[in-house]
A and B are shown apart, each in its own frame.
Chain A
Amino acid sequence: MNSFLAKRLGQTVLSVWGVITIVFVILQLSGDPTLLMVPEGATQEEIDILRRQLGFDRPMIVQYGDYLWKLARLDMGVSLVQNIPVIDIIAPRVGYTLYLAFAALLVAFGIGLPVGIYIGVFRHSALARALTAVVLVGQSMPTFWSGILLIMVFAVSWEILPSSGAEDPSSIILPAITLGALSMATVARITRTAIIEELGKEYVRASKARGLSFAAVIRRHVMRNASIPLITIAALELSNLLAGAVIVETVFAWPGLGLLAIQSIEARDFPVVQVLVLLGSVVYIGLNLLADILYSVVDPRIKLQGGRP
């Protein structure tokens, strides 16, 4: 286990370093924020002065080295737009994004799992076909449309939920549904496939012959075996949800990191963008690592060796 972890951690560091380097280069190539920070009609001299003060006139390799050196000392830098440490901007918003992502995951699994089980077990029924269609529609709707639609119905017309923001306890409902709908079909589909595969196996027939009820078979044996692909999906979908949250956060004015990312990219607030990318890649890679570790817990047959289960 230890050599496995050590090797994987090494790979993680390498991957994260690769990601932040690529993003650094892309940001640099896209132009520096000086122009966005001066009023219309600023003279060339004023622009040059500001650029020099912000350090953007140094060669790229120098800026890169400076950036890595600061990171090594856990100095996340100062936001160019808000003039406060990046940590102070990101920390209060992390909670909102996590809350939204997990709530959406709950919605995705809460609907996708039961639907997936049903259409896996009763795959030829008319209800199964209808459910598949519903779940598929949910996944195909673009969030910037479904989001505002939900607001119009539940907030404006029926007035039972808030139209934006995170101020009330019930504010999470509409954004979570909008975001969770994206993953519902994937969860249902994976569940269905896993269940069908398991149902065809020997032990199912053997258990039924021993007198176990069908429901008990599903509950006690099939689900446990089917959970391996589901764990992968949960990890990957969580990463997807963190990305898809950008649009949902914009529509609902949900004060999470997605909205911050969009605003910071538009404003070329390099320090904030770079920390967000760092965070995102660490989370994504970390989730995959967690999924791998969970496999070995769920299925004793899987031994973890050097990174390939």
Chain B
Amino acid sequence: MLRKLWLTLHALVLAVGGLGVGAALASSDVLVIDLVNEPATLDPHKQWNPDSYYVYRNIYDNLVTRNTAGEIMPQIATSWKVIDDTTVEFKIRTDVKFHDGTPLTAEDVVFSIKRITDPEFKSPQLGQFNSIVDAVATAPDTVVVKTGKPYPPLLAQLVKLSIVSKAYTERVGDEELNLKPMGSGPYKFVEWQKGVKVVLEANNEYWRGKPPFARAEFRAVKDAATRIADLRTGKADLVVALNSDNAAEIEGSSKLKVLSAPTERVAYLMMNTQFGPLTDVKLRRAVAYGLDRQLIIDALLGGYARKIDVLLTPAHFGYVEGVKTYPYDPEKARALVAEAGYPDGVSVELVTAPVFDQRIVQAIQQQLSKVGITVEISMSDMSTFLKRRRADPEGFGDMVFGRWSCACQDADGVLYAMFHSGSVWSKYANPELDKHLEAARSAMDPQVRLKHYRLAHEIIADQVPSIPLYQAAAIYGARKELQWTPTANESLFLMDMSWQE
């Protein structure tokens, strides 16, 4: 027995010693990134979650993209011309090659558009692209895109369209494309060890220039504390999805730094205007006066989030300022609660899911309790939460705390779904508002759209079907030497990163 123990100890020491050697071989030319989950798929037309996007967006190029300031910029498309209300002509680059050496042509762009809009393909993103009814390659470097109706957010949506190789996809099939992606982007796919990591290597013939790292590895580490441990031991160079508490831990370190950027995620408190006590606008205004949003931002979010007064962020087209706002005023809130007919207070149900910051939910509960509104929290997992979110007014609960992201940076993607009477996500019906949202959706002139959105924001601010809480910030942790500016649309472009000399 003792002898066996001794042998085991020897083996242990050898294993640990071996580790030391292994660590020394790790080169600084590999960038290791810790994500929360591994990608669900690397097929760019099949997915809708950030972990997949972070990875495949470095393998593929998109038709257009956004720069660090959030403006739409050419990528595969070099320029575009609006022919008429429903037709846009794109000129594309002629010097782009896929990783297997074949050239990227207009045919590939058309193929990509048709693939993602094909109902048989079952893309979860179909709803974002189905305004496109046709795409034609009129020349090797020209693509004409037609929409069914005038659709102003077209370019904003095309920021998310990756270009795949028609020949490759047709040859290997959809399943193989998912397992062995091949694009034209700065990084080539090397391997995907399921559950462990995805490994990419630099495409040295990339048309935009030489990629900054020879290899990139994306690991999946679900626990935030473990991600930070990885940063501190040097196992990872960049980690995502930290909260303000994690950030405080890193701030003091001499080897690490916090990177953060406001995103286009809007945190909101949506109220049920069609059933329950919050059908009364006075009570809704009471809620608005009763919330100290700045305190929540400073105390709970470490000051990383930003205060907003409309249900959009400055990163969205359609964001306006100067709309009616509700400063923190508990006295006024209490008065309104009494005026609404609840001198002894009222009880409401708040529906939420664990993925949302529960400290904020509890802060809301606490703040509202001081003005006579008792909040009962109903927590369920994401799937059940979404079910309730879409339910009829009777099953919706009274309030929902959530964060909205359309990944489009256009007001249409947020306001229409949230407030149009025809949307399943909306618990508010106002024909006046509907008119403005519809008009903004079909007008191609940005000035006309802005005019309608301003009026829409004013109606929303007056009737308060939903209260904008804050613009969420994404917080990342990185080694001090990593140069990178995170963007509002949370893209993790390796091309924009580098080591500081």
Contact = CB atoms under 8 A, between A and B. Distances in A.
* Chain B binds chain A: yes
Interface of A: 30-33, 35-44, 46-47, 49-50, 53-54, 81-84, 88-89, 92-93, 96, 110, 114, 144, 148, 151-152, 155-156, 159-170, 173, 250-253, 255-256, 259-260, 262-263, 266-268
Return the 4 tightest CB-CB contacts between A and B, nearest first: A41-B417, A255-B195, A35-B386, A253-B221
A219 to B, nearest CB: 9
Contacts of A43: 127, 417, 423-424
Contact of B178 (A42, A84, A169, A255): A84
B201 interface: no
B196 interface: yes
A278 to B, nearest CB: 19
Nearest to A145: B225
Contacts of B119: 49
Nearest to A155: B233
A116 to B, nearest CB: 13
A38 B383 CA distance: 12
Contacts of A88: 194
Interface string B422-436: 011100000000000
Contacts of B15: 169-170, 173
Given A165-B235, A166-B196, A40 B229 contact: no
A35 B424 CA distance: 12
Given A53-B122, A148-B223, A268-B383, A164 B18 contact: no
Contacts, number: 171
B16 A163 contact: no
Contacts of B232: 156, 163
A130 to B, nearest CB: 19
Contacts of B463: none
Contacts of B126: 46, 49
B229 A148 contact: yes
Contacts of A42: 127, 417
A169 B13 CA distance: 12
Interface stretch (B60-68, B135-143, B400-408): B400-408
A82 B102 CA distance: 28
B167 interface: no
Most buried by B among A40, A155, A255: A40
Interface of B: 1, 5, 8, 12, 15-16, 18-19, 22, 34, 37, 40-41, 43, 46, 48, 119, 122, 124-128, 174-175, 178-179, 193-197, 219-223, 225-226, 229-230, 232-233, 235, 381-384, 386-387, 389-390, 404-407, 413-414, 416-418, 423-425
Given A163-B232, A168-B22, 7 more contacts: A39-B128, A42-B127, A155-B233, A161-B19, A163-B230, A164-B221, A173-B16
A259 B424 CA distance: 33
A82 B16 CA distance: 36
A45 to B, nearest CB: 9
B405 A40 contact: yes
B34 to A, nearest CB: 8
A148 B124 contact: no
A266 B353 CA distance: 11
A110 B7 CA distance: 13
Most buried by A among B18, B178, B381, B418: B381
B402 to A, nearest CB: 9
Given A49-B119, A169-B19, A162 B233 contact: yes
Contacts of A151: 225-226, 229
Nearest to A93: B195
A164 B383 contact: no
Nearest to A257: B195
Contacts of A266: 381-383
A37 B124 contact: yes
Most buried by A among B34, B193, B382, B416: B382
18 contacts: A31-B383, A31-B384, A37-B124, A39-B127, A40-B425, A42-B127, A46-B126, A50-B124, A53-B122, A83-B46, A89-B194, A92-B193, A164-B34, A165-B235, A169-B19, A173-B15, A253-B219, A255-B194
Nearest to B405: A40
Given A40-B417, A169-B15, A169-B18, A164 B229 contact: yes
Most buried by B among A36, A49, A53, A88: A36
A169 to B, nearest CB: 5
Nearest to B1: A114
B40 A81 contact: yes
A253 B221 CA distance: 5
Given A89-B194, A164-B230, A39 B235 contact: no
Contacts of B407: 39
Nearest to A252: B226
A14 to B, nearest CB: 31
A255 B196 contact: yes
Given A41-B417, A92-B195, A163 B235 contact: yes
A168 B195 contact: no
Contacts of A89: 194
Given A83-B43, A165-B235, A259-B195, A35 B390 contact: yes
Nearest to A89: B194
Contacts of B424: 43-44, 47
Nearest to B160: A39
Nearest to B2: A114
A263 to B, nearest CB: 6
B179 A50 contact: no
B406 A41 contact: yes
Contacts of B127: 38-39, 41-43, 46
Contact of A83 (B16, B41, B425): B41
A155 B234 CA distance: 10
A93 B193 CA distance: 10
A83 B390 CA distance: 26
A223 to B, nearest CB: 10
A255 B12 CA distance: 22
Contacts of A47: 390, 424
